[in-house]
Amino acid sequence: MEEKISASIVATFFKKLQDYLSVDVAIVGAGPSGLVAARDLALAGKKVALFERRLAPGGGIWGGGMLFNEIVFQQEAAAILDEMEIAYADAGDGYITADSVLVASALIYRARQAGAVIFNSVSVEDIVCRHEAVCGVVVNWTSVTRLAMHVDPLVIMAKAVLDGTGHPSEIIHLASKKAGMSLDTPTGAVMGEKPMWMEKGEASTVENTKRLYPGLYASGMAANNAMGGFRMGPIFGGMLQSGKKVARLILDDLNE
C-alpha cells in the first residue's frame, strides 16, 4: 500500500507539472483578483497555471478585517458572487457582507473546477523576456527561496503573465528592473500605494487593471500599487471586478 500511495502522488503530480510547463496564461498570486481571472480564462478554454507562494491560496481574503472573518463588497459585486453561488448578506446602504472563509474557499474551488491548475507553495522569482515581451515565469519552491538554498529554479513559458501578487507588485518590479519596462506614471517607475481611501482605492484598482507591457498584465492591488492608487482594506468588490476585467483584456489579446 505504501508504495502505491507514493507512486500515485508522484505520477499524477509530475504529469500535471509536465502538462503545464507551457501555458496560455501564468498567473502569479492566488488572491481574489488572480482567482477570478483564472476562472474566467479557464472557462474561456485557456490553459491557465496559477502560482501561489503560500500553502493556502486565497491571499488577503481569509483574515477579513483585523482577523474578524467577514468581508464587505459593494452591492454591484453581488452579480459576481451570484455567478459563483457564494452566499452573502445585505448590510444596508449599498453594501453586502460575506464570510471570508466561504469566499476564499469558493474562489479557489471555482478557479480549479473551471480548469485552472494551482501550484501552491511555489514562488515566482523571475520572468522570461524575449523581444521586449514577457513570455514566462521562473519558479521555485517557496521553501527553497525562504531558506535561501542555492538551488536553480525551473521555467514555465506563457503567452501572457498576470501580476496578481497584491501589495508588493513583484512581477511589475521585476519587469521594471530587468526588462526596462516604463509605466504610464509620472516617473515611469512603480509609484507605490497611497494611504487608505476606500472609495478611491476601489475605483482605481479597476481603472489600473491593464496590460503594462507586451505579455504582462496587472490586477488587484498589484495594479493599484504600481500606478499609485489608494489603499482600501477589507472591501473586495474592486478585486473581483479587476479579475473579471483582466481576464477580458487577456482574452482579447490572445484571441486577436
Give whichever of 8 and 213 is closer to ligand 48F, judged by the CB atom.
213
User: Cβ(100)–Cβ(71) under 8 Å?
Assistant: yes
215 part of the interface to ligand 48F, by CB under 6 A: no
Going through the chain in order, the beta strands assigned E by DSSP cover: 22-28, 48-52, 70-74, 89-92, 95-99, 117-120, 122-130, 133-141, 154-163, 194-196, 210-213, 216-218, 230-231
237 part of the interface to ligand 48F, by CB under 6 A: no
Applying CB under 6 A, which of residues 22, 43, 54, 97 lies at the interface with ligand 48F? 54
The DSSP-derived string for 127-179 is EEEETTEEEEEEEEEHHHHHTT-----EEEEEEEEEE---TT-HHHHHHHHHS
Q: How far is the CB of 63 from ligand 48F (least distance, A)?
A: 9
136 part of the interface to ligand 48F, by CB under 6 A: no
222 part of the interface to ligand 48F, by CB under 6 A: yes
Pick from 65, 80, 71: nearest CA to 104: 71
Applying CB under 6 A, which of residues 39, 46, 47, 53 lies at the interface with ligand 48F? 53
Q: Whole-angstrom Cα distance, residue 227 to residue 81?
A: 27
191 three-class SS: coil
Pick from 148, 139, 205, 209: nearest CA to 174: 139
Q: How far is the CB of 225 from ligand 48F (least distance, A)?
A: 9
229 part of the interface to ligand 48F, by CB under 6 A: no
Strand order across the beta sheet in which 95-99 lies? 70-74, 95-99, 89-92
164 part of the interface to ligand 48F, by CB under 6 A: yes
34 part of the interface to ligand 48F, by CB under 6 A: yes
28 part of the interface to ligand 48F, by CB under 6 A: yes
60 part of the interface to ligand 48F, by CB under 6 A: yes
Give whichever of 7 and 147 is closer to ligand 48F, judged by the CB atom.
147
Interacting positions 77-116 with ligand 48F (CB under 6 A): none
Q: Whole-angstrom Cα distance, residue 163 to residue 185?
A: 17
Binding part of the chain for ligand 48F, among 39-47, 52-60, 94-102, 128-136 by CB under 6 A, reads 52-60
170 part of the interface to ligand 48F, by CB under 6 A: yes
23 part of the interface to ligand 48F, by CB under 6 A: no
Residues that bind ligand 48F (CB under 6 A): 28-34, 51-54, 59-61, 123-124, 164-166, 168, 170, 220-222, 231-233, 236, 239
